[in-house]
Structure 1
């Protein structure tokens, strides 16, 4: 049997709109409104997980997924001391460090997690924790989706920054541990479920 994992990217927050590294901000009013409108579009699942961030939990609740279990292993990329700053601010203060971080998947000048280590963590969790059958839904930070797409496609980690993940989209991975296929992000709208069907 096939296992299906649907990763839903969190709704908009002020941090996302400002290109700010997660500062613990909640989903903003517009994001909350869109998430509530999309409630009921997420298919049923045997397991429902949520990244341990305020905006992911807020998104899950607004989507009617209040039963979602915290999954610390699906936390967003740890950017160390850059947390709470905008990319523009960090680029102005540490241009060489930012260039190294964006160009080298093994670099972690912020003292946090490298892109390669992050991709390893996300892929390992989903390969080992997602059961061999059934459906799992997880509300996550957009970079979690990027990491999984990179690994499923066997792409180099340098391509991590080239994967766009809009808020409130669902990306489905199907298959078995170590061998997944991907259906790229679909918007969660009242007329389209995460599996692409109406209703």
Structure 2
């Protein structure tokens, strides 16, 4: 329990379903399945690995964000880089194809707020732990 609230596991914010590619590096996949990887990286609707397309994944995250469009809503989310990238795409109204143009550093922070029916992003620094 943190901040006086119990954590909630939200399935909509789960990692992309990479199907048979789960746990493998892009390098490994590129060697074993170069055509499938190339298609998946260039087409957000491609499901070359038997899992979830980037388009379906980003839509899942977008649907989750809907109820949080109210300026009065406050939510803390700790999640995967892929989910953060999907949130950024939705907030900026960018196409899913731009997914690969976003880098999210480990332990980085992102603050979203909503004003006049538009999302605003504030990028923070990576969190650092001191001993």
TM-score band by shorter chain is 0.7 to 0.9
Q: Alpha-carbon deviations, 1:33-89, whole Å to 9, x = none?
A: xxxxxxx9xxx5x8x7xxxxxxxxxxxxxxxxxx32111110011111111111111
Secondary structure of the 2:37 match is: helix
For residue 38 of structure 2, the aligned residue among 99, 118, 122 is 99
The one of the two structures with greater contact order (alpha-carbon pairs below 8 A, sep at least 6) is 1
Matched, 1:126 2:70: no
> Over residues 77-110 of structure 1, what are the superposed CA-to-partner deviations in whole Å (9 max), with x where a residue is unaligned?
1111111111111110100000000000111100
Tell me how large the CA RMSD over aligned residues is: 2.4
Given that 2:18 and 2:49 are in contact with CA atoms closer than 8 Å, whether structure 1 keeps it comes out as yes
Secondary structure of 1:145's aligned partner: helix
Gaps of 5+ in 1: 1-39, 49-66, 192-199
1:147 matched residue in structure 2: 86
Tell me the distance in 1 between the aligned counterparts of 2:69 and 2:91.
17
TM-score normalised to the size of structure 1? 0.58
Gaps of 5+ in 2: none
Instruction: Give the whole-Å Cα distance in 1 for the aligned partners of 2:91 and 2:73.
Output: 19
What is the 5 A alignment of 1:153-172?
153-172=92-111
Counterpart of 2:9 in structure 1 is 70
3-state SS of paired residue (1:148): helix
- The residue that corresponds to 1:137 in the other structure is 76
Distance 2:46 2:101 in 1: 17
State the partner residue of 1:35. Answer: none
Go from structure 1 to structure 2 and tell me whether the alpha carbon gap of 1:117 and 1:185 turns closer, same or farther (over 3 Å shift): farther
Deviation of residue 131 (structure 1)? 6.7
Structure 1 residue ranges (4+ consecutive) displaced by more than 6 angstroms after TM superposition: none
